[in-house]
Amino acid sequence: MMKSLKGLKEPQRTIVELGIILLCAVLIWQSLWFSLSVYLRTEHPVVIVAIDMTPWYVTSMTPTLGAGDILVIQGVDPSTLKPSTRVSAQNGDVIVFQHPYYVHTEWDWRKLSWVEEPDLIVHRVVAKEITDNITYLQTKGDHNSVEDPYVITGNAVVGKWTGFKIPLIGLIFLAAQDAAGRTIIIIALILMLIYEIYTSTRKAPKPDH
């Protein structure tokens, strides 16, 4: 591989090198995601708290969770989830679940195509009922004044928040989901590529005699 790259001229070699780095980064990320999914027993081991209110830094889970917080999620038996002792207590489990109505489009690396997936919501369990071996959950955002206008069943639960989070870093990924954010990121990447090609093709100055 290295001999093949040395045989290339600039700027082709720089472009190929950057492509290899990008491919390696994607493979490492996918391997890490798969490993976390197996270890934490959920298809979504990492979830980012979305911007869902105005102003942007206030979310439906403020003050517990803020926009851009990266959460580590673990799989859970829905029947074991603990609800809050009362609606305002905020001592129930925080879960991630599939929204019963809203969906979004995302890239599926396994199918190599765009697919529709339910939106993921991060809210707290405030009430639980088990009927005929089916778990029903009432949820609520800590910042919201009322419960969510729907009841979910256990099969909609993606997992439970472990309590571990990385604040704010997820804002970068949220920006990539927005059209304006994607445009800025793409322009930045193009400028970086142009700079790399420019610096790699500049001739080294001849040494003084």
* Cβ atoms of 20 and 8 closer than 8 Å: no
Condensed to tens digits (0 to 9), the pLDDT of residues 3-36 reads 555 666 666 777 777 788 888 887 898 899 899 9
Q: Partners of 73 in the beta sheet?
A: 161
Which of residues 150 and 51 earns the better pLDDT score? Answer: 150
CA distance 3 to 26: 24
Q: What are phi and psi of 166, to 5 degrees?
A: -115, 110
173: helix, strand or coil: helix
Domains in the chain, please, with CATH? 41-169 (2.10.109)
Condensed to tens digits (0 to 9), the pLDDT of residues 39-84 reads 999 999 999 999 888 888 899 999 999 999 999 999 999 999 999 9
CA distance 195 to 168: 29
Query: Cα 79 from chain centroid?
Result: 26
* Nearest CA-CA partner of 69 in 187, 194, 170: 170
Residue type, 128: K
Please determine, for residue 185, whether its predicted confidence score (pLDDT) is greater than 90.
no
